[in-house]
Each structure stands twice: as C-alpha cells, then as structure tokens.
Amino acid sequence: MPPELRLRDATPADIPLVNRFVRALADYEKLLHEAVATEDDFRRLLFGDPPRAWALFAEWEGEPVGLALWYYSISTFLGRPSLYVEDVFVEPAHRNKGIGRIIFAHLAKRAVEEGCGRMEWSVLDWNAPSIAFYRSIGARPKQGWTLQRLSGEDLAALARQGS
C-alpha cells in the first residue's frame, strides 16, 4: 500500500461523510434522484443493534477520498456467508492511484478471514471503466442471472398479501 494511503473503518462520527460519498456515487451513476437515505438511515445501518452493514474509508494523505460499504448475505449452495459489496467510490481526482484495487483486496481478505465463500457486487452495464477494472482483478459476470427488485408500492402491495 502506498504510504500516502490508509484504510480505516467508519465510526459513528463519519456518518455525514458516508452520506456525502454515497450521494457522490449516486451522482456519478446518474441516480442522484434515487439517493434518499438520510444520516439517520446510515447511523441505523452501520451502528444499530445489530449493525446491518459496514463501511471503510480510504484516506490519501489524511483526507478521505474513497468509501466502501458492504454487508453479508448467504449462499445456501455453499453453506457459507458471502460478502456483498454495495458501494465502492473513489473520488475522480484520486482514481488511477491503485486505491480501488487496494480496497477490493482488503475486502477480499476480510471475506476469506470471515469464512465467506464469495464476494459479489453489481455494476451498471454502461460503466465500461468499472467493468474493465473488475475484469483486471479477476471478477467475472454471473452468467444467466438477472437482478430482480421489489421496491416502493410494489413491495408494499406484496407485503399486504402476506397478512
């Protein structure tokens, strides 16, 4: 790791910074209109009882320049947990310094140490630079699978049927 770079776990005092980085990622992905999470939402996610997600910051010369946020899912086929990377964002001015690769290597090390059978994440199909980076670290697309989502009123309507 370059001496200018340090990774550190997020603390409760970092909640405004988490919010800022998530909004910057949403803006980069042209999805800022969907970024409605509040600082209270992040506080509950990261530091509630129990925590539902974890985060770390990449600092370059003491300044935060990147965020990773992840949670754990499971694989019934493997009978083991999976580390799911929800967000990784490195500020544009600090890209191409190896920060993203170091973040992913750090998360992979955590996954292995915690007995995870795999590490997964999603990428927008138009994001060619990220896709090329993911291929360079050995990631491969999951062929034959399409992400499905229920949210908003559709989620609420199905939930009402479960009553």
Residues of the chain with pLDDT under 70: none
Can you give the pLDDT at residue 49?
98
* Confidence (pLDDT) at 144: 92
Looking at residue 147, what is its pLDDT?
86
Angstrom distance (rounded) from CA 102 to CA 65: 13
Closest-CA residue to 67 (of 52, 86, 93):
86
Question: Can you give the pLDDT at residue 120?
Answer: 96
Structural domain total, the chain? 1
> Residue 70 is part of which domain span?
5-161
Q: Give the chain's end-to-end CA distance (angstroms, integer).
A: 52
| pLDDT at 140 (0 to 100) | 94
pLDDT at residue 15 in the model: 98
Give the per-residue pLDDT at 146. 85
Instruction: Specify whether 72 is catalytic.
Output: no
Give the pLDDT confidence score for residue 74 in this predicted structure.
96
CATH number of the domain within which 81 lies: 3.40.630.30
3 state SS of 69: strand
Q: How far apart, in whole angstroms, are the C-alpha atoms of residue 160 and residue 103?
A: 41
